[in-house]
Amino acid sequence: MDEGLATAAGDPIRVVFALLPHSLVLDWAGPAEALRIANQLRISAGLPPRFELVFASPEPDSTSSVGVRLAGLAPLPSDWTAPAWVVLVGLPGATIAVDNAPARALLHWLRGLQLEAGRLELVTVCAGTLLAAHAGLLAGRRATTHHEHLEELQQIEPGCDVVANRVFVLDAPLYSSAGVTTGIDLMLHLIGEACGETLAARVAQTMVVAMRRGPQDPELSPFLAYRNHLHAALHRVQDAVSEKPQADWTVPRMAEVARTSPRHLTRLFDEHAGVAPLAYLRRLRLATAQVALQSGANVTRAAEMSGFGSDTQLRRAWHQFGLPGSPSASTTRTG
């Protein structure tokens, strides 16, 4: 887990979308919907919502990039007693203009932020990264932005390590994305870090984001692999297996979840997911074991947590799926 997102389990995270006039709607609406769905899924599971969404601006009323009027926007906050993310989004135009009153007010506010991993963090979408640069927040940081603004970003902040051709870049307490839909990718990553990969996978499924992209892309999260389909019964099985990969799953038990026969479930997996049910189960268990190992568990404990019957079964699956090295070499040692 990124150090900057290691907030205490269950702590609410305030997410402040700082909007200027003409802010690109998809830059903020897509990530906001991902957070809303994450809250909704947690509530349906009997858990409290994790994210408090705040839409703030230097002015109470504004106009979006598509002309929709936004009213009742909150003032830019000054109280940061709880863990919080500030989200900056892009604006239309070949360059990002900051020579207007709302932009100047936003930059003044940004310069007063005391960013700190795990407490107050900055998330930028598209050309929102340039606003952070204008505020002097990117010196000595790695960041990305929309490909059309990469040179502009470097000119604004020569001390920033500008990364091209990357979906998003993680440099706690700064998290930047390349633009538009990549803001959703970044927010799914942050949701996964804050709430677990299973929830992030379900958010992506609800949003019909078939492939989650990561900081080293193109790469598919193992928790989302084989889910590039819209078959409801099969998703129901995959949700159940993802939530409890260590359970005593068999094809007949999976078929009960799908409310179909074992033979028909096998056909569904083959037709829609392109993988056999038990091979899918082993892949999920392997991904769970990887997370456990990276969190400091030894091989025996990782095997138990992920549903493998023994160290030997875990090692066999490790090599079957072509992972480099060995499980013991992947353990994160602490102390």
pLDDT digits (tens, 9 = 90+) for 225-273: 787 676 888 988 998 998 889 999 999 999 999 999 999 999 999 998 8
- State mean pLDDT over 310-314: 91
Whole-structure pTM value: 0.67
The CATH code of the domain at 232-330 is 1.10.10.60
**pLDDT score for 221:** 56
**pLDDT score for 184:** 92
**pLDDT score for 215:** 52
| CA separation, residue 236 to residues 112, 170, 274, 297 (Å) | 47, 32, 16, 29
**pLDDT score for 231:** 84
Number of H helices, E strands in the chain: 12, 10
**pLDDT score for 3:** 36
Element (H, E) at 290: helix 277-294
Lowest mean pLDDT among 71-85, 136-150, 290-304: 290-304
Domain residue limits, the chain: 3-206, 232-330
Q: What CA–CA distance (Å, rounded) separates 90 from 20?
A: 9
Q: For the beta carbon of residue 261, count every other beta carbon within 10 angstroms.
A: 12
**pLDDT score for 290:** 84
For residue 173, cis peptide bond before it (omega within 30 degrees of 0): yes
By residue count, the chain amounts to 335
3-206 and 232-330: identical CATH topology: no
The answer on pLDDT for 6 being more than 50 is: no
pLDDT level of residue 129 (50, 70, 90 thresholds): very high
Superfamily for the 3-206 domain: Class I glutamine amidotransferase (GATase) domain (3.40.50.880)
- State mean pLDDT over 185-200: 90
